Amino acid sequence: QVQLVESGGGLVQAGGSLRLSCAASEHSFSSYPMGWFRQAPRKEREFVAAIRWSGGNSFYADSVKGRFTISVDNTKNTVYLQMNSLKPEDTAVYYCATSRRVMSSTNWPKQNLYEYWGQGTQVTVSS
């Protein structure tokens, strides 16, 4: 069973940057997806970004496009989420997730397709 551990969250002022990391306990097949999701207070969890373990094409929610970048380091079994130009509405607990299903990128935002989840890391953006 894959274990995922997020890190890198914290408190930052609006306009600032943070980089989240998600370390996996084992190497995953290159075609499997890795996603970032977030859940703000009193809101449902939502998709943020996703990429395959092999790297290459990535997919973003419209709300973060142009500000966030997802990347992967296969040598470290780690996926990153670089978050720039942060806004107060980005405040949430951020989760990484992965699946052992090969799926098209159009399915990457579907949370129910991911079997393994990290514990989450809090990101707070002050205005």
The CA distance from 60 to 102, in Å, is 18
CA 22 from chain center: how many Å? 8
Question: Mean pLDDT over residues 87-105, rounded?
Answer: 94
Distance in angstroms (rounded) separating the CA atoms of residues 53 and 117: 15
Burial class (CB in 10 A: 0-12, 13-18, 19+), 56: exposed
Euclidean distance between CA atoms 55 and 114, whole angstroms: 18
Q: What is the pLDDT of residues 58-68, one digit of tens each?
A: 999 999 999 99
Q: What is the mean pLDDT of residues 4-16?
A: 97
pLDDT digits (tens, 9 = 90+) for 39-90: 999 999 999 999 998 888 899 999 999 999 999 998 899 999 999 999 999 9
